[in-house]
Each structure stands twice: as C-alpha cells, then as structure tokens.
Amino acid sequence: MKILKPVPIGEAQLVSASIPETDHPVWKANVTYARGAFVISRASHTVYRSLQDGNLGHDPDLEQLALADPLIDDPDPVKWQVIGATNRWRLFDGKPSARATAAEAITVELAPGVAIAGVAGFEISAAKVRVTMTNGGAEIYAREIAMQDETVVGDWSSYLFEPITELSEFVLTDLPPYAHAVLKIEALRPGGTVSIGQLVCGPLWPVGRTAIKGSGFQGVDFSYVAQDEFGDLTTVRRAATRLSSFEVWVENARLLGLDARLRTLRGGTAAVWIGDDDPRKAAMNYGFYRGYRSAYQTDAWSLLQIDVQGIV
C-alpha cells in the first residue's frame, strides 16, 4: 500500500490549461447585477451568484474575506453566494463531484516544484488519458491509459451488445522523481465531451503490504429518502462515495514513523490511498482517514487497519 500526498496546485504550479476561465462575465465594480446574475473572480477562481437586485460595487471576494474574519460580528452573505470553483480550477478544488468539462480534450501542464512519484485522476469521463513528463525539455516519462473496462466482455455476445463501461479513475506510481520536471496530463475523447473531477500529483509514502483478506470497501450514499405514512417516497439524489478499509502488513520497526506521518493527515486532509494500482479493483480512494489501528501479530510484524472515506 502507498499514500499519495497531494501537492497543492495554484497559479505558480499551473503552467497551462486548455480550459479557458470564461464561465461567466468577470465581476466589475461599475456594473449593476440583478438577482440571480452569475459572475466569476479570476483572483480567487470562484463563481458567484448575486443574491439581490441592484447589486453595485460589492466585491464578492471581499465579502467572503469578511465572512472569514473572526473580528466581524454576525457575518452574513447578503450580496453574493459562492457557487464553486471556475471550470478550469475544478480540476484542483478538492471536490471530485464538481467536474471540469470541455469538448474533445482537456490538457494541463503542471510544474509542481518538488519531486513527485505519483499522479491520479478521479471522476473522469474520457476515452483515454495520456501522461508525459519532461525535464529540461527532454521527455523522461510517457504512459497512455485506455479508460474502458473490458472485463465485462467474455464472449461475442457481450462484445457486440454490452454497453461500454468506463473507468472513472486512474493512478500511476512509477514517475521518475525529478524536482523540476513538467507534468502534462491529457484526457481525450475525439468528437465527444471530456470531464475530470480531480487531478492529484505528489510524493508517495510506502505503508506496507496490502492484505487481500480483510481489505475491502462499502458504498456511502448521501441521497435523501423519506417515506410517509402511505408508503410514498420523497427522494433527493445526491453524491455517493466509497468507504474503504485497508489491512496492511507493516514492520513493527516502522510503526512509530508511520504513525507520525498519518497524524499529519488528520482533520480531513485529502490524500490518495492506494491498496492496488489497478483501478478495476476499486482498491484506491481519494479521501481522508476516519481512523487507524494496529495489532501486533509477531515480534516483527503488525497488521494495520486504515479506514478511509472518499471525498465527493
């Protein structure tokens, strides 16, 4: 098992992106906005919606700063509602369910500024993903991933009539660790629409050997379902995720250092938890740990259990 610790991606790390930041008009101080009007801020890469008619001269970014200021009593968003990240920056906003979309291709180039060994993507809809890495202009890594699950094809009937099953996530854990490399990620679907919920890259932390017996996952559905006295249902469909449970064999001599590393991820810190590199096994999760526990098995080895909840 490995843990991919994400490198934060900001303007300094984003070399280029094929998605323009043109979701809505940019907010301007001299424009009056009606209730329901949408604007974007390229400073915070955020989409806002006006809550009032005659909305003039009220900077939405400043209103959000005021809401976060502990010295301001009873802060209340009276002018603007935060909708989310702009289409370009949904790739890195930590919310896989909010997808960035584009026609035919999404291409980004990243300069993390540190040595990375892994890259992963989640909530992807594309025919294929291509990952390349260059250092000083020379290509040092290249991989292409077909984003189709062909395991359902067992005979000619399924080949001809079964619908295409897409893989929605990928992970690569063999990137060469160059500190000044540029990482290029392309998601491609000629003639169609491409979407990506989250892209993550960073260093890898080795944990131990994943135990097949004892590891697994369950589905978590955040939808709302209520039943009245007549048996009629009221439903609101919401996002769903995985709750993964990993059992890992760890050398006892590494437990203290591993515990220190895991504690740096407390408080809902997102990471990619990789029990197996094959996405078809659903043995990886972009999320936060809910807890971990270790049980000594021998003088040399312990069995570590880690529970991870996926982020939507």
pLDDT for the residue 78: 83
Quick: pLDDT tens for 152-197: 666 766 666 667 788 999 999 999 999 999 999 999 999 999 999 9
**Complete domains list, the chain, with CATH:** 7-18+91-204 (2.60.120.260), 32-85 (no CATH), 207-310 (2.40.30)
pLDDT for the residue 141: 98
Q: What are the tokens at 87? A: 């289409």
Phi-psi region of 84 (alpha: psi -120 to 50; beta: other; left: phi over 0): left
pLDDT for the residue 159: 63
Q: Give the span between the Cα atoms of 163 and 5, in whole angstroms.
A: 35
Quick: pLDDT tens for 197-230: 999 999 999 999 999 877 899 999 999 999 999 9
Tell me phi and psi for residue 21, to 5 degrees.
-95, 70
pLDDT for the residue 212: 82
Which residues are CB-neighbours of 8 under 8 A, at least 6 positions away? Answer: none
Quick: pLDDT tens for 225-276: 999 999 999 999 999 999 999 999 999 999 999 999 999 999 999 999 999 9
pLDDT for the residue 213: 79
pLDDT for the residue 165: 82
pLDDT for the residue 158: 64
Q: What percent of the chain has pLDDT over 70?
A: 94
Q: Give the span between the Cα atoms of 269 and 8, in whole angstroms.
A: 12
Mean pLDDT across 131-145: 96
Quick: pLDDT tens for 18-54: 999 999 999 999 999 999 999 999 999 999 999 999 9
